[in-house]
Amino acid sequence: MGFTAAAESTAKLTTPIEGDTILVTLPRGQTADGLPAMAAQACGDKPFCRYMAWTDGTKAATAIPLDLAQMAALSFSYMRDRASDYERPLWNCRQFKRADTTQCMATRATMTAVPSPAAVAPATPAATADLNGVRRKAATAAPVPTTQPAPAAVVAK
């Protein structure tokens, strides 16, 4: 698939991913209302096109799939699929306020990795003095008696 440049004078192309996907960094001061026209111009006459734009170039994606931080920083998204008669622009409404909230991207909760607590070594058994009431065998075994059994008494008849 070939790569296309997005509206050269208005948005800076970050990295083309595939012929159907265009990733851009928006120019400073870009208004929300001009974004759909910019995306449509960048997509040209392609029947299928994904246009993703970021206002902060340091958070812009350079590869697909996007990671969670890139998705959270995404400012504008436009998707066109003429085979399904689908065309939809979506704005990050934390960055571009929209009167119609159906035009806003779904917000995703970002997860932060928290280190697991250090492994706790299992407690060693306490000294026997600490276990009152527990019967234990003596540390040394009692000697076994070595006496021989007495011979059976002879019974007289």
Tell me the pLDDT tens digit for each residue of 21-69: 999 999 988 899 999 999 999 999 999 999 999 999 999 998 889 999 9
CB of 8 closer than 8 Å to CB of 44: no
Quickly count: other Cβ atoms within 10 Å of residue 97's Cβ.
9
How many percent of the chain have pLDDT more than 70? 61
CB of 30 closer than 8 Å to CB of 7: no
pTM for this entry: 0.60
Residue 35's pLDDT is what? 95
CB of 24 closer than 8 Å to CB of 51: yes
Q: How far apart are CA 21 and CA 17, in angstroms?
A: 6
Q: How far apart are CA 126 and CA 13, in angstroms?
A: 68
